[in-house]
Chain A
Amino acid sequence: MLKQIVIGLLGPTLDRGMAGDGPDRWGSWRPTVSVCQHDDWVVDQFDMIYQPKFQKLANQVADDIRSVSPETDVRLHTVEMDDAWDFEGVFATLYDFATSYPFDTDNCEYQVHITTGTHVAQICLFLLTESRHFPAKLLQTSPPRRKNSGQPGQLKTIDLDLSRYDQLAQRFGLEQTRSLEFLKSGIPTRNAAFNRTIEQIEHVAIQSTDPILITGPTGAGKSQLARRVYQLKKQRRQLDGPLVEVNCATIRGDTAMSTLFGHTKGAFTGAVTARKGLLTEANGGMLFLDEVGELGMDEQTMLLRAIEEKRFLAVGADKESASDFQLTCGTNRNLLADVANGRFREDLLARINLWSFQLPGLAQRRDDIEPNVQYELEQLARHTGQQVRFNAEARRHFLKFAISSDARWSANFRDLNAAMRRMAIMATAGRITIDVVDDEINRLRRAWTSIENSENDNCDLQSILNDQQIEALDLFDVAQLQTVIRTCRQSSNLSEAGRKLFAESRKHRKTLNDADRLRKYLAKFKLDWASVKKQNQPC
């Protein structure tokens, strides 16, 4: 049988009884003592929470429990609670108690006694039990039918984990969200570097109309940040036009020009009507060009002119159009490398790179995972109208995995969002259980493993050679070069890489010149140590 532990507040009124500290107090029903007076239930441990000013009463109640229940280990905990009717203070106090309490649910069964304390304290105990900060059942006591009989009265336990309470719990959840927001004033991100970046972006967005470049891996939240900048500017009345978003990877090829800059009627076959183009649409607003590194060379040229002179030529038009917009660009590529490879115009980069902000990936912001999990749950609730919550064990389990180095979060927030979405759908009765979490962790692991494999297959070369160079390579060379580059990137200098690459053959050589061999090999592809190492970034 599990050890029975009751956690309860000392009730300064009810637990005093009618007669104060005289023997007649035994005639009054005192909830805390009564919990330990039942014939058919032994409380092995009672954790009594009280304010220091009630020390004397606490001692008396503890002694009385020991008298009627020698089996019970009474443990006293003082807490500072200046105003027992102040929700925020009481909640914080009890929250701290719950989070620092060494719960051992494998060996103990916990009950939170909610009959004593102010109504505010009762509500807080309920909330903290409901959210599984107290992994406990609720315990309610009521006086005996015959007044002053000295009988212990009735006990009732409520297990909030039972599904019949789920509906009630969900209804309560909305209120809880509000009160949590009230208590924590929104969901703050904890990563200091990220918070500083955001502050800078807000400052720049307010003070300047220059283009902004947001870099960072896919799914790091670039477009979301762009939208935030737009909203901020709009709030400040710096913009009154729309936000026009486009992913440049989706507009490559023939129609790219007309998509961006528009075309006139009959400009080319199929151009039955005139088209405005995104730049014109963004007039007075913001144009967000995501994956700007995917833009073709011609479009880059047009764009540069559009930024510098706020004028451009629509396809087939012989008169220039004008559009004034705030430009924000996003990219996950190393544009400097693209410039070096001739894939991106240097002058365009200089123009859009004036304010450049690097967004770290989720894996570099592990301290922000927890608030974002909460945020995602709230967003899901907002979109679907359904409250979904973790049970405490499942939450701990998921977060433990999420912040561990096992979790690669290679698609960053996109991965997290997808994971939360999947778990929400798999949840039963609005509760994400440990099984659901386990399945999701496996799913994520599998996904990340296959990405890793495919990266190892073909990724390395694209970051240092341009497409034409790669096309010119034999498969034989591709395979060899990939291994050589990977080894270089895992090594701190040319000699170390050389030692690894020629580990066998160097045993039989009289003179050791691994570094030189490697240097010569790289030179065959117009590569050197610096260019291999410099572009060391995931693609």
Chain B
Amino acid sequence: MQTIDGSQGEGGGQILRSSLAFAMVTGQSCRIENIRAGRKKPGLMRQHLTAVRAAQAVSGATVVGDEIGSTQIEFAVENPGRVSGGEYHFSIGTAGSTTLVLQTVLPALMLADGPSVVVLEGGTHNPFAPPFDFLVRAFLPALEKMGPKVRATLDRPGFYPAGGGRLSVTIEPVKKLGVMEWLERGETVRRSATATVANLSREIAERELKVVRKKLNWADECLVVNEVCDTPGPGNILTLEVESDGGESGGGGGICEVFTGFGEMNRPAEVVAKQAVQACQRYLSCGVPVGEYLADQLLLPMAIAGGGAFRCVRLTRHTQTHIELVQKFLDCQITTESHGRDGVIVRVS
């Protein structure tokens, strides 16, 4: 049984979710201690508990300590490598992130013995979690290049605090993941800025797009206002997409990156826009194919594939924690080379 110190590195819910994902994929039982030890409210919160229960549902594992506030759980995998595909439905309270729960079960389901349909309800665009657009534009296409076909559709968005969002994901698994490399970014083939307003004034979206036009100098035909009303609460996000080809030595071919600004009560539209624009500018100026969030997401499938490489803007604390964790569960070597302003190369072998 692996023992994972949940307080290491960034010490949040991510280490719990990744540990569960690895445990299911590798068939290794694990005990996670000091869960969210440094946080104001330590231990499992509701959305973490939902992730644990989802992992249990998918793998049939035996779980001890799955209670609110619990700082230690044991996740005992009964039949290693026997994750069964099927239909799953998970509801997340407090408008918690659907994508984080998906992240927990997706690695296991994309290597399962059959296809799956997963329906998730809760928040679809949460700060501190990959928003749906990132998932569907950036992460899943990249993942698909490694083999599994994962299609996600947004039935309706859900924003904090009302929630009420719903997404459906179909997963066609593979026996083994392929090895991919994203080392260079070529020409930008597409760029778009979508300002979504749910039950809010269109003017907010227009102000955000005005900032995008001014700071990034993008043409008007790239800027889209998306008005939504099929969600219970108000919500606003700005999504910037940059799709590039693989360049001359890109190997892996094209990649799409997504940058998001999250609207919040009492937060001016311009500030929301700046959050996304600045992340986008950092990415564009660096010349790397992989942004910091995508880097974090790609590490796990690459480690499972047993090989691959990418170049990214920088290593976040999240990513560093992830690298340490991967090596506990999997027999693989992860090296990082810093190239200063040209970013960092992460290589799995």
Residues of A within 8 A of B (CB): 1, 22-24, 26-27, 36-42, 64, 67-72, 146, 148-152
Contact = CB atoms under 8 A, between A and B. Distances in A.
Interface residues of B, number: 30
B40 to A, nearest CB: 10
A24 B236 CA distance: 13
Of A26, A70, A151, the most chain B CB neighbours within 10 A belong to A26
Contacts of A42: 46, 49, 68, 93
Given A40-B41, A42-B68, A150-B160, A70 B93 contact: yes
Given A64-B162, A68-B94, A23 B233 contact: yes
B264 to A, nearest CB: 8
A152 B46 CA distance: 14
Given A39-B94, A40-B46, A70-B121, A148 B266 contact: yes
Contacts of A39: 41, 45-47, 94
Interface of B: 41, 43, 45-47, 49, 67-69, 91-95, 121-122, 160-164, 198-199, 231-234, 264-266
Given A26-B162, A67-B164, A68-B163, A38 B94 contact: yes
B254 to A, nearest CB: 38
Contacts of A23: 162, 198-199, 231-234
B41 A68 contact: no
Nearest to B234: A23
Chain A contact surface mostly: loop
Contacts of A151: 161
Contacts, number: 76
A200 B167 CA distance: 78
B161 A68 contact: yes
Contact of B265 (A37, A70, A148): A148
A67 B67 CA distance: 21
Lowest 5 A-B CB distances belong to which pairs? Answer: A70-B91, A23-B199, A150-B161, A26-B233, A39-B45
Contact of A69 (B68, B93, B232): B93
18 contacts: A1-B67, A22-B199, A23-B162, A23-B199, A23-B232, A26-B232, A27-B234, A39-B41, A39-B45, A39-B46, A40-B68, A42-B46, A67-B232, A69-B93, A149-B266, A150-B161, A150-B162, A150-B265
Given A23-B233, A26-B232, A39-B94, A149 B265 contact: yes
Contacts of A1: 67
A510 B121 CA distance: 92
Given A68-B93, A149-B265, 8 more contacts: A1-B67, A27-B234, A40-B69, A67-B162, A67-B163, A70-B93, A150-B233, A151-B161
Given A1-B67, A24-B199, A40-B46, A64 B93 contact: no
A1 B164 CA distance: 28
A69 B121 CA distance: 11
A68 B163 CA distance: 6
B333 to A, nearest CB: 38
A41 B44 CA distance: 10
Contact of B45 (A40, A68, A71): A40
B41 A26 contact: no
Of B91, B161, B232, the most chain A CB neighbours within 10 A belong to B161
Contact of B162 (A68, A148, A152): A68
Contacts of B69: 40
B21 to A, nearest CB: 22
Contacts of B45: 39-40
Nearest to A40: B41
Contacts of A72: 93
Contacts of A68: 93-95, 161-163
A152 B91 CA distance: 19
A70 B91 CA distance: 6
Contacts of B95: 67-68
Nearest to A22: B199
A27 B68 CA distance: 26
B159 to A, nearest CB: 9
Contact of B266 (A22, A69, A70, A146): A146
Contacts of A27: 234, 265
B93 A26 contact: no
Contacts of B43: 40
A203 B45 CA distance: 71
A69 B93 CA distance: 4
B163 A24 contact: no
Contacts of B234: 23-24, 26-27
Contact of B93 (A22, A71, A150): A71
A398 to B, nearest CB: 36
Contacts of A149: 264-266
Nearest to A148: B265
Of A1, A22, A71, the most chain B CB neighbours within 10 A belong to A71
B233 to A, nearest CB: 4
Contacts of A26: 161-162, 232-234
B160 to A, nearest CB: 6
Of A23, A27, A41, A148, the most chain B CB neighbours within 10 A belong to A23
Contacts of A37: 94, 161
A35 to B, nearest CB: 12
Contacts of B160: 150
A42 B233 CA distance: 21
Contacts of B163: 67-68
Given A26-B233, A27-B234, A64-B232, A69 B94 contact: yes
Nearest to B158: A67
Nearest to A149: B265
A144 to B, nearest CB: 10
B225 to A, nearest CB: 18
A46 B298 CA distance: 42
A40 B68 CA distance: 6
B162 A41 contact: no
A216 to B, nearest CB: 60
A484 to B, nearest CB: 70
B122 to A, nearest CB: 8
B204 to A, nearest CB: 13
A150 B198 CA distance: 15
Contacts of A70: 91-93, 121-122
A149 B46 CA distance: 20
Contacts of B161: 26, 37, 68, 150-152
A27 B264 CA distance: 10
Nearest to A68: B163
